Amino acid sequence: MRRIALTVNGVRREAEVEPRLLLVYFLRESLGLTGTNVGCDTSSCGACTVLMDGKSVKSCTVLAVQADGAEITTIEGLASDGQLHPLQEAFRKHHGLQCGYCTPGMIMAGLGLIESGAGMGDEEVRLGLEGNLCRCTGYQNIVEAIQDAAGQMRQATPAGAQGGSE
């Protein structure tokens, strides 16, 4: 067992974990944060995507011990005071979800993409989401939701707009 300490959604967490424990199961089963889903066993689907130190990672491909000292944001950490995050709002407005299972990972991947300052053209967003699979929506509404939210978020915080195309 190894002792780890990390920050999850702004809360400091310490735990004894098996070295083989994946971050996604640490989040889901040790912390009860079941919003992050598991959709495959080959790191193909991206349903388990979370932010680790601000970058999107597939939490099925990260060991819990690798997250020692890191700052993790999961889908549960986005809405605050009952207000949806602009990206969550955009997913709702653009009908970017149906069954909802890929949605937490898709939103975290989209957030990582927006915050990386990537361009927000159709092709750029689609390529940026390459690691996240959705079987329900056909992606178009997801792409539009991310573009819409990026516009709002970058307007709200111009500092985050570097590198983004209009």
Partner 1 sequence: MTQVAESEAKRWVGGGVLRKEDPELLTGQGRYVDDIALPGMLWLAFVRSPVARADIASIDTAAAKELPGVRAVFTGQELAEEWAAAMPCAWPIADRTMPDEPSADARIPDHWPVAKDRVNFMGEIVAVVVADSREQAADAIEAVEVDYDELPVVTDMMEAITGSAPVIHDSLGTNKAYTWLLTNGDVDKVFAEAPVVVKERYYHPRLIPNAIEPRGVVVQPIPAQGEYTIWSATQIPHILKVLLALTLNISEGKVRVVAPDVGGGFGSKLNVYAEECVALAVARRLGVPVKWTEERSEGYLATIHGRDVIQDMEVAATEEGKTLGFRVKLYADFGAYMQLVTPGIPILGAWLYHGVYEGLAYSFEANGVFTNKTPTDAYRGAGRPEATYAVERVMDALARRVGKDPAEIREMNFIPPFDEAREVLCGLSFDSGNYHATLEKAKQLVGYDRLRSEQQANDGRRNGKLLGVGISTYIEMCGLAPSQILAAVKYGAGGWEAATIRCHPTGKVTVITGTSPHGQGHETTWSQITADALGVDPDDVDVLHGDTAVSALGMDSYGSRSASVGAEALYQAAEKIRAKARTIAAHELEVAEEDLEWKDGKFQVTGAPDRAKTIPEVAFSAWTAHALPAEVEPGLEATAVFDPPNFTFPSGAHICVVEVDPETGSTRIDKYVAVDDCGTVINPMIVDGQVMGGVAQGISEALYEEALYDENGTLLTGNMSTYRVPSAAELPGFTLDRESTPSTTNHLGIKGIGEAGTIASPPAVLNAVADALRYVGVEFIDLPASAERVWRAVQEAAGRAPAERVAEGGGTGAASMTPEEEGGTA
Q: Which is nearer to partner 1, 39 or 162 (CB)?
A: 39
Q: Which is nearer to partner 1, 3 or 95 (CB)?
A: 95
Q: Which is nearer to partner 1, 14 or 41 (CB)?
A: 41
Q: Which is nearer to partner 1, 148 or 158 (CB)?
A: 148
Interface with partner 1 (CB under 8 A):
18, 20, 25, 28-29, 33-45, 47, 74-76, 78-79, 84, 88, 91-93, 95, 97-104, 107, 122, 125-127, 129-143
Q: Closest distance between partner 1 and the C-beta of residue 54, in Å?
A: 19
Other CB atoms within a 10 A radius of the CB of residue 48 amount to 28
Q: Which has the closest alpha carbon to 78: 50, 98, 100, 53?
A: 50
Q: Which has the closest alpha carbon to 119: 89, 162, 156, 149?
A: 162
Task: Tell me how far apart the alpha carbons of residues 110 and 124 are, in angstroms, rounded to a whole number.
Answer: 11
Q: Closest distance between partner 1 and the C-beta of residue 159, in Å?
A: 26
Give buried/exposed letters for 126-162 (b at 16+ CB in 10 A, else e).
eebbeebbbeebebebbbbbbbbbbbebbeeeeebbe
Q: Closest distance between partner 1 and the C-beta of residue 130, in Å?
A: 4
